[in-house]
Amino acid sequence: MPELVASVRNTALVVDDESTGRLILKARLEREHYRVVTAADGKEALEQFALEAPDIVFLDVILPDFYGYEVARAMKRSAGERFVPIIFLTGLSEEEALAECVAAGGDDFLSKPVNFSILKSKIAAIERIRDLYESGRLQRAELADLHARMQYEQQIAERILSGAVMARNVASPPIQSWLKSASTFNGDLFISAYTPAGGLSVLMGDFTGHGLAAALGALPAAETFRTMTAKGFSLSEVLAEINLSLHRLLPTGMFLAAAALRIEADLQTAMVWNSGLPDLYLCRTDGSRRQIASQHPPLAALAGFIPGCEPELLLLASGDVFLLCSDGVTEACNAAGEPFGEERLEGVLDACSPSEAFNSVRATLTDFVAGTEQQDDISLVAIPCEKALFACARIDDDGQAVCELPANAWNWSLRLEGANLARIDPVPLVMGQLTAFGISAHHRQQLYVVVTELFNNALEHGVLSLNACLKNTAEGFMDYYLLRQQKLDELVEGFVDVRLDYRKEDGRGVIRVLIEDSGRGFCHGVCARCDVLQTLNEANQGAGGLMSLSLEQAGRGLKLLRTLCRKVRYLGIGNHAEAEYEL
């Protein structure tokens, strides 16, 4: 029967200047199925180490040209991450010499002359250590590869997520924004969108924590914000829907601190809301500054809004600048652990003009935190109140080169009575119906203005009998909207009817908008009643002697409508308005 040939175990390097000892150890290792290479001095040992890449080294402490310590250090450097155990061969017994062997990278000792029973045991022990080390090295390499792939996938996901959330933002520039994440994913978000009337709505938010878990909530928030803003919902309604959807979606303890504002296209007013973020600042051109503190818990913290909490109305002047920031700005710390803080932020704002606010705060904060590790996402946004905000305030058509007119006539109507007038805004419902009937986005934008103007006139001057003269001054303007809200809260009767009729005339589509209210109306100059001025005075009695609607004031809204519609008229006693819009 042929003799079985044992497989080679590994390669061993024996380094000893004594040839007898070298040959004896070589023979013993070969009996243990090692392939053995030898060296008589340090130089030859390093050459053999580089050439043969041994799996284990037996190294004499005293060599002709080097100390074994020096050779061991060079071998460990050359091996890199590969674990090559080094067993020192020594006749030394001093503790300092043995400690030097360990410090040089030695893994064990063998006393000369070598006891081969001990040799065999030490080889078995060192091989177990080597195998564990190699297994660990392979696992570390696998984890490093997995981490690299995960990082790549996260970067792709973050790019897609950012594109879905922020790529569709509008008015940038002139809006200045700085969103700096503490990890791959940013838990802060900033969204901007135009309203159908050409106003600008923005939302800045800071989700609990940071990273992927915080960033995922941005998708539903952004989609809800953009969809409802485009349909004409009020800022309150948009925020209420975001709050409800996030409350259902996010786990307990996770919420969205948010600030939102809507700037009207005439740059005269803005609605502002803060729920959980640091104070917002309205930096005015006259050097004054208005702070808007948080007025409500963060979104998703409660299932619904606290009654009575509404966005705040602010009067604007050209050149004013809104500055919004997350707590990542105020809580950022320097190397000494000192937070940036609101006091330092306000000091920066005191020292610069509104137009310089963004760059000054960013530069100061960057210098303040230099050399420290970022702990939280940082967001800083400046929104200047200037016409450039609305340069592209147009809703694009629905991707159709030619918008076909609806073939058949249709009509749609809605009647709101009493408290429903305060609870339901019919304008977004009208926009939804126009979309369903195939009316293009461009025409929906124009019709939004028409329906909004007619409905607001019917509600405010008809049902609520508000005095338009109040809006002649800045203080009166604020009083007007406070009184409007008060009367809506107390409203128990009255109605507004909204009706849309579509038909074709001479190949053109015509939409007729009819709005009727329960108010006393006014004399519009085309009726069988008495003298116009006398009728106006009669209609406005009961308003403290002030006329709630004058001919000049009634004409302001009509002028806008007549630029959009082919015909605008009031019927009856003035509480029935009709506008014809041509597609």
Residue 562: pLDDT over 60: yes
Q: How far apart are CA 301 and CA 34, in angstroms?
A: 69
Give tens-digit pLDDT for 132-152. Answer: 888 888 888 888 888 888 777
Architecture of the 11-136 domain: 3-Layer(aba) Sandwich (3.40)
Using pLDDT thresholds of 50, 70 and 90, give the confidence band for residue 160.
Answer: low
Alpha helices by DSSP H, listed for 53-115, are 68-79, 95-103
Residues 484-500, mean pLDDT to the nearest whole number? 92
pLDDT band at 326 (very low <50, low <70, confident <90, very high): very high
pLDDT at 312 over 70: yes
CA nearest to 25, candidates 9, 14, 17, 11? 14
Neighbours of 290 (CB within 10 A): 16
| Confidence class for position 549, pLDDT limits 50, 70, 90 | very low
Query: What is the structure's pLDDT at 426?
Result: 92
pLDDT band, very low/low/confident/very high, at 371 (cuts 50, 70, 90): confident
Pick the closest to residue 191 from 182, 180, 200, 181 (CA basis).
200
Domain ranges of the chain: 11-136, 168-390, 410-582
Whether 11-136 and 410-582 share one fold: the answer is no
In tens, the pLDDT along 194-234 reads 988 888 999 999 988 666 666 777 888 888 999 899 888 88
Evaluate if residue 2 carries a pLDDT over 80: no
Tokens of 374: 């970022």
Range of 8-17, 357-366, 469-478 with top mean pLDDT: 357-366
Give pLDDT tens digits for 174-188.
999 998 887 767 778
Please state, in angstroms and rounded to a whole number, the distance separating the CA atoms of residues 385 and 550: 31
Using DSSP, state whether 379 is helix, strand or coil: strand
Cα 445 from Cα 230, distance rounded (Å): 9
Q: Which of 475, 431, 486, 447 is nearest to 564 (CA)?
A: 447
For residues 370 and 442, which has the higher predicted lDDT (pLDDT)? 370
User: Looking at the whole model, is its pTM more than 0.85?
Assistant: no
Q: Which has more confidence, 159 or 30?
A: 30
Residue 322's closest CA among 406, 398, 381, 257? 381
Q: Are strands 188-194 and 176-180 parallel, antiparallel or unpaired?
A: unpaired
Nearest to 127 by CA among 108, 151, 103, 110: 108
What is the tens place of the pLDDT at every residue in 263-278? 998 898 999 999 999 9
Residue 550 has what pLDDT? Answer: 42
Task: Assign domain 168-390 to its CATH superfamily.
Answer: PPM-type phosphatase domain (3.60.40.10)
pLDDT of the residue at 528: 44
Give which of 103, 104, 110, 107 is closest to 130, Cα–Cα. Answer: 107
Whether the per-residue pLDDT at 402 is higher than 70: the answer is: no
Query: Is residue 553 over pLDDT 50?
Result: no
Task: Return mean pLDDT, the chain.
Answer: 84
State yes or no: pLDDT of 44 exceeds 90.
yes
Which range among 18-32, 347-361, 396-410, 495-509 shows the weakest confidence by mean pLDDT?
396-410
Q: What is the pLDDT of residue 219?
A: 83
346-369 average pLDDT score: 95
Tell me: the pLDDT tens digits for 414-459? 999 999 998 889 999 998 888 888 888 888 888 988 999 999 989 9
Question: Which pLDDT score, from 0 to 100, does residue 162 have?
Answer: 67
CATH of domain 410-582: 3.30.565.10
Mention every residue, 6+ apart, whose C-beta is less than 8 A from residue 211: 182, 183, 184, 185, 187
Work out whether strand 176-180 and strand 378-384 pair parallel, antiparallel, or are unpaired: antiparallel
Ramachandran assignment for 9, one of left (phi > 0), alpha (psi -120 to 50 degrees), beta (any other):
alpha
Q: What pLDDT shows up at residue 401?
A: 36
- Rounded CA-CA distance 334/367 in Å is 9
Residues with Cβ within 8 Å of residue 389, at least 6 apart in sequence: 171, 174, 175, 200, 263, 383
Q: Which of 22-26, 310-314, 474-478, 482-486 has the lowest mean pLDDT?
A: 474-478
Rounded Cα gap, residues 429 and 231, in angstroms: 8
pLDDT of residue 545 exceeding 50, the answer is no
Sign of the CA dihedral 81, 85, 91, 95? positive
